[in-house]
Amino acid sequence: MSGIKGASVVIVGGGVTGLSAGWWLARDGVDVLVLEKGLVGWEASGRNGGGCSHHHSPLFAEEQRLWPLMDELLGYPTEFRPERIRLAASEQQMALYGRALRNAERQGFQSDVLDLKQVKELVPLAGDSVVGGYHYRFGGHANPHRTLQGYAWAMQDHGGRILQHTTVTGFRGEGGRVIAVETDRGEIGCDNLVLAAGPQTGRLSAMLGQEVPVQSARCEMIVTEPLPLMPLGGVDGCGLYGRQTLRGNLAYGGGPHEWLAMAEEGTPAKPTAPLMLHMGKRLAQLLPKAAHARIIRSWAGVIENTPDGRPVIDRLASQANVVVATLSSVGFGLSPASGRAIRDLLVDGACGFADISTFSLARFSKLEPNWRELQGWQVTAAAEAVAA
Amino acid sequence: MTVPASDPKSVTGKPLAIAESVDVLVIGAGPAGLAAAIGAAARGFRVLLVDENPVPFKTMGDDVPLHFGRGMAASARNRNAMMEAVVASEPRIAEAFEAGVDLRLGTACWGLYANGPALGWMPGLVAGLANEDSSILVQAQHVILACGRRDMGLGFPGWEKPGVIGATAALNLATRYDAFGPRKVVILGSTTEALTTALALREAGVTIAAIVEQAAEPIGDADLLAKLSVGGTEILASHVVREATGRDGVEAALIATLDEEGRPVGEERAIACDGIVLAVGATPVVDLIDAAGGKVAFQAERSGYAPVLDASQRTSLAHVYAVGDCAGIWAAKTRDRAIAEAEAARAVAALGADIAGVQAAAPPAPGYDISAYRLAWVRASVVEARAEFHVCQCEEVTAREILEVRPPRYLDWQNERRNDRSLSALLGEGPPNPDQVKRLTRAGMGPCQGRRCREQVAALLALGAAQPLSAIPLAGYRAPVRPMALAMTTLVPEAPEQAEHWDTWFGMHAQWRPFWEVPARYTVAGNDASGPVASE
């Protein structure tokens, strides 16, 4: 037994969305408890590109407002650095990448279009392998793992609690409300519940009578040894997302994902596939003067997507005191704003700083039941028997 | 009914460029690997045997795959000479060639890929192989890992100087390459593995000045100890190295005695030497099996983290076996290669018989508590060190910074009061996890891929949490388990259909539609997914 009997708000999932929500709530003096089956920030939240420039999202303006303040607000380093340069390997990529400029401009954020000469001036590791690019005068990048730990520590500084190594096994309801969360370490009472359990969100919400449709997939990234710092580390493109970290490593991802059947509990090993090679090839194209740099790690993360790839932040219709949240594979950068939106839903009844009606669960009310199959999100059949 | 096409942005239908397919791939051409390859060839299998020795001089300079500590003689730069030396060092290499084994020296395996709960894309077992100028993917029906052993690093002030070398690296340089630089060494540790290394180095012409042991009594085989003693080697129990001194490399080891609590006391004495060999803990090489998702567990009787095996040397990954030192190290096996060869024979006999066998019999229990022994070394040498030094040499992280979970120096947050988080505050109720500490402090995140510091970091966490070593999870290994230049990755071709559909992220049109254009209802039928798309 954990010794903890309950909390005003219990958050299931110690990923970036749950921890940010917990931090926002704790700052307001709300008694909050985060339940995590493993370690905080251990899954996809701690394993991503760290990008913070989501101009398509209703949370964009708040994302942009908050990131430069986060070190100060949390009291811990996030390694946030502003701005992003995105390079294109072809005219077609150049055209497709132009959407960011138009979306951002509409919301009052500027970008520059770069020709090859300007690219080489701004990006010392770049070369003739690209045709041009964009310089976003917004957005940026941060260190996911450090930021996750920052959320957790800052939440604890405000009196919030975290229970790691605690698996949710069920819920106890009464009168259309969840009154307790059942775990492998005993029952924990709650006045309100937030489900922010990443790939597990679908399974857990189904237990509450209203399933959030999600499917899991594996994505991968690579990291090189450190190189001298470029003036602006947030350089990506050529089919990759990522950054040069403040330590100097090149950390990049991109390329095909694998849809997985991972509805069950637990955290299986997440080995990588040889996709490392094809990411490496593109990184050498993006930054040819780094072609000598050695890849020293790769890693895989399992993340969930909704049918349209867009977030759900909404109350369940089936249970009055439950908020469900999935950022659908794009959660890290938006986390300062998504946590605040969840806090607003719980405390104020509605998001006060943005219109998040497009994050509603109701948009899936006419969704085809076999949507996974229709979209081709089938699980790749293992050629070999699944290993023990 | 028509089956809808699979998501073109997924891995489905994207073949890997498999350069070669073999029946049996054996990784490592030591006693166990050679026996396995020769045995499998005798059964009629097509066998590919790879060994990364001779390791390129530059790679050795990076302390990959072992802690060479720049202890290579100048002759190690001569690639052809090293190739000849490696072939000459082991008579069964010629036997393997004669048996029809496709043996490739200087070829490292940087990745092993097997399907499992979170990976279903592999066409079977796939391995990534590389030599100095090529990189390929090979498919194998069976893989036999014979990757050998490596050494626990042990720091003290000056341990970054050239001449501080892991025992396995020293042994390889002396006995396989005939290119060991130091002429007079001090050996830290007195286990049977340490004493065996000492005698082999002596055999190769190296003077063994002293065996330094923190424990009150030497712990290895008494006969081996007597041989060393008779040969003039000082046996110094209850001692520890306080510092390696020297200008451009090790010139002396400063040693001191330990009191009953394991704290260095009394006067220091300098032992002149040009090498300090770290032999406090040999441990199985588990990088490939762990990175592939195979089960690995702390097994004291196998000298640390080792694969979980059945009686036929099967790992938890189907058709993957482990033999020789990478399957577990114990004193008798170190002294008699027939034990490793018998493991190879068991694996070969099991090839093609897919019945999960009974659990492997436990090797003889070690004559000492390896957890307590290794922790005592780290306490005496690292924690009680008289000056701060970098436990993680690549990322320059000290023991104190690891125990206090300090953000790395490049952030300059060192003096921030609110950042003063103890290990216990980080841990909560769970066991200390080196991966978590690694990401926060960066210890173990450098180009040597944690080879020099991972066991020390685990020991520091165990000491900090007052837990045995077995309670500390293994810091995860990741492919590539040998660093690989970006330029090398381009040598493996990419399927055209993968290149055509390559996207930054999931390549979903709906995901990136700006919020002011999002329809109120989403259905697959109503979703416009036509035209080119680029994720943001």
The one-digit pLDDT tens for each residue of chain B (536 residues) are 456 789 999 999 999 999 999 999 999 999 999 999 999 999 999 999 999 999 999 999 999 999 999 999 999 999 999 999 999 999 999 999 999 999 999 999 999 999 998 999 999 999 999 999 999 999 999 999 999 999 999 999 999 999 999 999 999 999 999 999 999 999 999 999 999 999 999 999 999 999 999 999 999 999 999 999 999 999 999 999 999 999 999 999 999 999 999 999 988 999 999 999 999 999 999 999 999 999 999 999 999 999 999 999 999 999 999 999 999 999 999 999 999 999 999 999 999 886 766 888 899 999 999 999 999 999 999 999 999 999 999 999 999 989 888 888 888 765 555 555 666 666 566 678 898 888 889 999 999 999 999 999 999 999 998 999 999 999 999 999 999 999 999 999 999 999 999 999 999 999 999 999 999 999 999 999 988 999 99
pLDDT in tens, A70-96: 999 999 999 999 999 999 999 999 999
Residue A387 has pLDDT above 60, yes or no: no
Q: How far is B477 from chain A (nearest CA, A)?
A: 8
Give the integer Cα–Cα distance in Å for A214 and A311.
10
Q: Which pTM value belongs to this model?
A: 0.96
Instruction: Give yes or no for B440 touching A (CB within 8 A).
Output: yes
Q: Containing H/E element for B111?
A: strand B108-113
For residue A68, is it within any domain? no
Q: What are phi and psi of B418, to 5 degrees?
A: -70, -15
Give me the residues of A, 247-266, that contact B with CB < 8 A.
247, 254-260, 262
Residue with tokens 């090797």: B363
Total Cβ atoms within 10 A of residue B61: 15
Fold of B18-149+283-350: FAD/NAD(P)-binding domain (3.50.50)
Q: How far is A382 from chain B (nearest CA, A)?
A: 4
Angle between helices B222-230 and B192-203 (to 10 degrees): 40
DSSP state of B519: -
For residue A186, is it within any domain? yes
Give the integer Cα–Cα distance in Å for B11 and A9.
40
For residue A19, is it within any domain? yes
pLDDT in tens, A97-152: 999 999 999 999 999 999 999 999 999 999 999 999 999 999 999 999 999 999 99
Contact A241, A347 (CB under 8 A): no
Q: What's the rounded mean pLDDT across residues A257-264?
A: 81
Q: Containing H/E element for A294?
A: strand A294-305
Give the integer Cα–Cα distance in Å for B102 and B414.
54
Instruction: Give yes or no for B327 touching A (CB within 8 A).
Output: no
Give the residue extent of every domain in chain B.
18-149+283-350, 153-280+368-383, 389-471, 505-536
Contact B71, B459 (CB under 8 A): no
Q: Same domain for A137 and A225? A: yes
For residue A69, is it within any domain? no
Give the integer Cα–Cα distance in Å for B457 and A202.
38
Q: Same domain for A127 and A225? A: yes
Give me the residues of A, 297-316, that contact B with CB < 8 A.
297-300, 302, 305, 307-310
Q: Name the CA dihedral angle for A14, A20, A21, A24, rounded to a multiple of 10 degrees.
A: 140
For residue A65, is it within any domain? no
Q: Same domain for A272 and A336? A: no
The radius of gyration of chain B from alpha carbons, rounded to an integer in Å, stands at 25
Tokens, residue B145: 């890992």
* Final residue of a structural domain among A258, A274, A305: A305
Give me the residues of B, 385-404, that contact A with CB < 8 A.
395
Contact A273, B118 (CB under 8 A): no
Nearest residue on chain B to A48, judged by CA atoms? Answer: B505
Question: Would you state the CATH architecture of domain B389-471?
Answer: Orthogonal Bundle (1.10)
Q: Same domain for A228 and A299? A: yes
Fold of B153-280+368-383: FAD/NAD(P)-binding domain (3.50.50)
Look at B7 and A377 and tell me if their CB atoms are within 8 Å: yes
Total Cβ atoms within 10 A of residue A269: 19
Contact A62, A340 (CB under 8 A): yes
Look at A278 and B294 and tell me if their CB atoms are within 8 Å: no
Instruction: Give yes or no for A184 touching B (CB within 8 A).
Output: no
Q: Same domain for A240 and A253? A: yes
> What count of residues does chain A have?
388
Look at B291 and A272 and tell me if their CB atoms are within 8 Å: yes
Residue B354: C-alpha distances to residues B27, B307, B309, B327, B357 (Å) = 21, 18, 14, 20, 9
Tokens, residue B405: 């979970």
Look at A256 and B449 and tell me if their CB atoms are within 8 Å: no
Q: Same domain for A282 and A224? A: yes
Strand partners, B284: B149
Q: How far is A207 from chain B (nearest CA, A)?
A: 23
In 3D space, the residue among B482, B345, B378, B309 whose CA is nearest the CA of residue B42 turns out to be: B345
In 3D space, the residue among B399, B457, B398 whose CA is nearest the CA of residue B432 turns out to be: B457
For residue A382, is it within any domain? no
Give me the residues of B, 211-240, that contact A with CB < 8 A.
none
- Amino acid sitting at position A24: W
Q: Mention every residue, 6+ apart, whose C-beta is less than 8 A from residue A341.
A: A59, A313, A351, A353, A354, A356, A359
Using an 8 Å CB-CB cutoff, list chain A residues near B408. 247
Q: Is the ipTM of this complex over 0.85?
A: yes
In 3D space, the residue among A352, A6, A378, A375 whose CA is nearest the CA of residue A187 turns out to be: A6
Residue A290: C-alpha distances to residues A127, A211, A225, B392 (Å) = 10, 46, 10, 24
Q: Do domains B153-280+368-383 and B389-471 have the same CATH topology?
A: no
Q: What is the domain extent for residue A251?
A: 81-141+216-305
For residue A16, is it within any domain? yes
Q: What CATH number did the domain enclosing A250 receive?
A: 3.30.9.10
Residue with tokens 């490049």: B410
Look at A298 and B527 and tell me if their CB atoms are within 8 Å: no
Tokens, residue A345: 């839903």
Look at A58 and B433 and tell me if their CB atoms are within 8 Å: no
In 3D space, the residue among A170, A148, A193, A173 whose CA is nearest the CA of residue A6 turns out to be: A193
Q: How far is A167 from chain B (nearest CA, A)?
A: 13
In 3D space, the residue among B82, B281, B88 whose CA is nearest the CA of residue B189 turns out to be: B281
In 3D space, the residue among B330, B312, B310 whose CA is nearest the CA of residue B370 turns out to be: B330
Q: Same domain for A225 and A356? A: no
Q: Same domain for A156 and A271? A: no
Instruction: Give yes or no for B44 touching A (CB within 8 A).
Output: no
Contact A236, A242 (CB under 8 A): yes
Q: Same domain for A222 and A355? A: no
User: Which of A77, A157, A271 minimises the CB distance to B119?
Assistant: A271
Our separate counts of H helices and E strands in chain B read: 17, 22
Nearest residue on chain A to B2, judged by CA atoms? Answer: A374
Tokens, residue B389: 């030094």
Q: Containing H/E element for B130?
A: strand B125-130
Contact B71, B166 (CB under 8 A): no
Determine the distance from the C-alpha atom of residue A351 to the mean position of all C-alpha atoms in its chain, rounded to a whole number: 20
Give the residue, A380 or A34, on which the prediction is more confident.
A34
Strand partners, A237: A87, A240
Q: Give the total number of structural domains in chain A.
A: 2
What's the start-to-end Cα distance of chain B, in Å? 35
Using an 8 Å CB-CB cutoff, list chain B residues near A77. 407, 411, 413, 419
User: Which of B292, B356, B478 minimises the CB distance to A297?
Assistant: B478
Give the integer Cα–Cα distance in Å for B266 and B19.
62
Strand partners, A87: A133, A237
Give the integer Cα–Cα distance in Å for B486 and A285.
10
Q: How far is A210 from chain B (nearest CA, A)?
A: 17
Q: What was the pLDDT predicted at A388?
A: 34
For residue A346, is it within any domain? yes
User: Which of A56, A156, A284 minimises the CB distance to B512?
Assistant: A56
Instruction: Give yes or no for A103 touching B (CB within 8 A).
Output: yes
Give the integer Cα–Cα distance in Å for B343 and B365.
18
Q: What CATH number did the domain enclosing A346 receive?
A: 3.50.50.60
Using an 8 Å CB-CB cutoff, list chain B residues near A380. 10-12, 120-121
Total Cβ atoms within 10 A of residue A176: 12
* Final residue of a structural domain among A249, A273, A305: A305
* Final residue of a structural domain among A271, A305, A339: A305
Look at B492 and A225 and tell me if their CB atoms are within 8 Å: no
In 3D space, the residue among B234, B245, B235 whose CA is nearest the CA of residue B268 turns out to be: B245
C-alpha count within 13 angstroms, C-beta hemisphere, residue B91: 0
Q: Same domain for A312 and A370? A: yes
Strand partners, B102: B48
Q: Same domain for A243 and A330? A: no
Q: Same domain for A237 and A296? A: yes
Give the integer Cα–Cα distance in Å for A351 and B222.
75
